[in-house]
Structure 1
Amino acid sequence: MPNILLTGAAGRLGTHFRSRFAEAGRAVLATDIAAPADGGSVVLADLADRAAIDDLMQQDISAVVHLGGMANEKPWQAILDANIAGTYNIFESARKAGVKRVIYASSYHVLGMHEVAAAPLDRHAEVRPDSLYAVSKLFGENLSRLYHDKFGIGCLNIRICAANNPGSQRDIRIWCDRDDLWRLVLAGLDAPELGYRTVFGISDNAGAWYVNEADQTLGWTPEHGSGELPVPAGGWPAPDPEVAVLQGGGFAVRGHFED
């Protein structure tokens, strides 16, 4: 049975996805640079190690769900190795192995220097990355465009929003329920013709900062929204003033990581 290659499989989202793939009876080859805390079966490999990725891609892979890499701002070399070289290795190894579908985990931080007042934004909004991390995510989106147009690889870029538990008025507008995100990934894996698409991974939240066009979403619509979450006593707190103006929050106001 062909495998889905799941990168970043030891992270929070990767761990959730491993569980959901297992429940669905989907064959998955899970990989990460570190062993998972839950003791699950994950092949250890560094995304920056091209030979290791080539070996994984030769194991009857039908599609890639690429969650792996640095998920936060880090020094340049770490971003370069994991998110830029690593993402290139995924796409190029997939091309050489004849794998024709990649689901790529991008981020709303590619729009992070827009003001909150500019919301809602759609996929046509000017990209305004808020960090080296966000620049690396744009690199992956542009790389996926190249590999779709030139080499025929179907690509779904998911600009993942806040997929963790919200803690403020800001968070509830960009919250993404993990099961909504899981269903979006499944839509990308199962679509007869994927083509090239960019979709915000966001739930049905009141005052959402990002909106999707129906023709991009492969029939996916979120089933959850932050309105279903239990409201803390006293209501959702306002975000700190310094992170309240720009959509990227703390990413947008932080100085260079290496200063």
Structure 2
Amino acid sequence: MRILVTGAAGSIGRVVTLGLCDRGHEVVGLDLVPEPDGFTGAWHTIDCADADAVDEVFGEERLDAVVHLAGHPDEADLPASLTSHVITTAALLDACVAHRVGRFVYASSNHAVGRTPRASLTDGVVPGLLTDQALPRPDTFYGVGKVAAEALMRLYVDRHSIDAIACRIGSFLDEPGTTRALSTWLSPDDCVRMVDAALTAPSPGFAVLYGISDNTRAWWDLEPGRRLGYEPQDDAEAYADRVAVRDVDDAEAAHVGGPFAGAEFYRPALDLRR
């Protein structure tokens, strides 16, 4: 497949770009910054919130799919979060429709459901695990942006019959460094497996999967990903003896979004000055 990867210069983007190339795909990179050293494919330095610039890229490149990884990876005010996560998604989806690109894979986040209390999972569909049937429950404006982007994807699937997969990524790290991450870790290798599965699953329509490795202490159900062919191979438990116990561990485990659900992230939607 010939795949446009947005945010290709970022931490996840670099791993996914190399991993997809290793799996025989051809990657076209897109980012706000020039291509990193060693990248040899086509590259576009643009803002994917710029719909005209995005459409030009699609007009220049013959694409089979989009992997949308671009976006501010932390909290911002509401307008900035909506631009970063929703407007960029809209520009890319419009281009997909205009240029007949039928597969869209999105780096959503666990923070789309991050305010879900972990205590509420004990009587769930899969006891102890949050499933893809969970209602949106964002923990931040960042999470609100991810919820809205997922809703936009659902709309375009229904209107235009494209295939769109939202990957609710947990903690993408070389190795887990906190007790929470022992449950939420996504290894670099499993991240590539996840994206490749989302790209190649037959006719998924709209789907949600949880982007974590096969962690012994997992909080989220891996079955939605397995239905799409995602078979994670790594387990954070291999690093458990390196992870120190901290006073904040219990607080970070109270909600599935961890510290993003805490009071330190409470702020006005339209003013981040305080």
> Aligned to 2:191, which of 181, 190, 212?
181
**8 Å contact from structure 1 (residues 167, 237) kept in 2:** no
Q: Unpaired runs of 5+ in structure 1?
A: none
Deviation, 1:167, is 1.5
Where do 1:95-106 residues align within 5 Å? 95-106=97-108
Query: For 2:172, what is the secondary structure of its paired residue?
Result: coil
The offset of 1:208, in angstroms, is 0.9
Task: Note if 1:82 corresponds to 2:84.
Answer: yes
User: Aligned-pair distance for 1:236?
Assistant: 3.4
Change (3 A) 1:206 1:5: same
Q: Which residue of 1 aligns with 2:267?
A: 256
Counterpart for residue 218 of structure 2: 208
State the Cα distance separating 1:115 from its structure 2 match. Answer: 1.8
1:32 corresponding residue in structure 2: 31
> Structure 2 counterpart of 1:47, which letter?
C
Give, as a single letter, the amino acid of the residue that structure 2 aligns with 1:163. F
Q: Secondary structure at 1:61's aligned position in 2?
A: coil
Q: Counterparts of 1:215 and 1:200 in 2: how far apart (Å)?
A: 7
Structure 1 residue 231 and structure 2 residue 241: aligned? yes
Instruction: Tell me which residue corresponds to 1:162.
Output: 171
Match status 1:136 vs 2:145? yes
Give the TM-score, by structure 2 length. 0.86
Counterpart AA for 1:196:
F
Q: 2:171 is aligned with what amino acid?
A: A
Deviates more, 1:34-43 or 1:242-251: 34-43
The answer (yes or no) to whether the contact 2:110–2:168 under 8 Å persists in 1 is: yes
Of 68, 71, 87, 1:69 maps to 71
The AA in structure 2 aligned to 1:218 is L
**Once the 2 structures are TM-superposed, how far is the Cα of residue 169 of structure 1 from its aligned partner?**
1.1
- Select between 222-231 and 209-218 the one with higher mean Cα deviation: 209-218
State the alpha-carbon separation in 1 of the partners of residues 241 and 77 from structure 2. 36
**C-alpha distance in structure 2 between counterparts of 1:231 and 1:62, whole Å:** 43
Q: CA deviation at 1:231?
A: 2.4
Could you tell me how far 1:107 is from its partner in structure 2? 0.5
Structure 2: gaps of 5 or more residues: 122-128
Q: CA deviation at 1:18?
A: 1.5
Report if aligned partners of 1:205, 1:227 keep a CA contact under 8 Å in 2. Answer: yes
Q: Which residue of 2 aligns with 1:52?
A: 53
The answer to whether the aligner puts 1:217 opposite 2:218 as a matched pair is: no
Aligned length: 256
Residue 35 of structure 1: how far off its partner (Å):
2.9
Q: 1:34: Cα distance to partner? A: 1.9
- Greater alpha carbon shift after TM alignment, 30-39 vs 107-116: 30-39
Distance 1:230 1:169, change over 3 A: closer
- Percent of aligned positions that are identical: 32
TM-score normalised by length of structure 1: 0.91
Shift of 1:202: 1.1
CA deviation digits over 1:57-99, x for unaligned, max 9? 2210110001111111112332232212111101111111111
